Amino acid sequence: MRKRERENPCGVCGHYHKYEEGEVCGVCGHRMPAVSDKSAASSVQFSAFPSEILPEFLYLGSYDNAARAELLKTQGITRVLNTVPACQNLYKNSFTYHCLQYEQKLPFDDAIQFLEQCEKDRARVLVHCMSGKNRSPAIVMAYLMKSKGWKLAESYRWVKERRPSVELNQDVYQQLQAYEQKIFGSIENSGIGMPNLSPSSLGSFSFGFSRPNDPPIPVPVFSNIGGASIFSRPQLDIPPQEFTFGAGPTQKNTSDDASFKTNTNTPAVNDITMDGS
């Protein structure tokens, strides 16, 4: 479908096709079933659109959102704050880009200076990273703390309500805490439920063996203490017998010897004398 035949692109894939009527997109193959009920249609989440953090000014999204130029234009976005240099600035002729340097420590002041200039110029700006869950939300929260005077807890809840997929890692959250202390001089106990990554909370890979600091394992106690053990040996009243190594002297049998000598001198009854002739 040609662009001029339709004013707004598809809310899911960002391309131009009659998605309300179930028409398949000729670019990506996306298809949305036709929905006659308006309430059901309003419940559909349009993932192609970035999240609006401040009305008609500040938007938060992913690299996929930043790659849909026509969709950004329908929302009036003219400037893009790229928080990850690995993401290419695709439409330099259509948007004004500002790219932050990829560092372990987020350059909050540099980003806030650009956003303040956008607000002064009344220009709508998109802040994005690769997934829109960690770096770019942190930049937006830092801006809310600096420009609105909100504490970290309030800024976090504000952004989380408008973009539920936000997931800050522990390092980025600690940087926000340090920036909050820099602005307000103290860190407020936010209680926003950040994950506890202390070593005591992590599981131990002991493979069933006890560790040096583990308490001793109690030995099971059986009630039948006086009972006989299956490993006890019965007492046998067998006197010890003398055992001699090697061939010792044997006792002669005198009766057998006497009978043997008697028989040797007795001629055999059946012997027949042979004549030599």
Residues acting as catalytic residues: 129
- Looking at the chain, the number of H-run helices and the number of E-run strands are 8, 5
Reduce the DSSP state of residue 184 to 3 states and report it: helix
What's CA 74's distance to the chain center, in Å?
Answer: 38
Describe the strand order of the beta sheet including 58-61 as a list of residue ranges.
Answer: 51-54, 58-61, 124-128, 77-82, 96-99
Reduce the DSSP state of residue 22 to 3 states and report it: coil
**Element (H or E) spanning 127, and its range?**
strand 124-128
Could you give the CA distance from residue 181 to residue 268 in angstroms, rounded to a whole number? 131
Could you give the CA distance from residue 75 to residue 13 in angstroms, rounded to a whole number? 15
**How many other CB atoms sit within 10 Å of the CB of residue 199?**
6
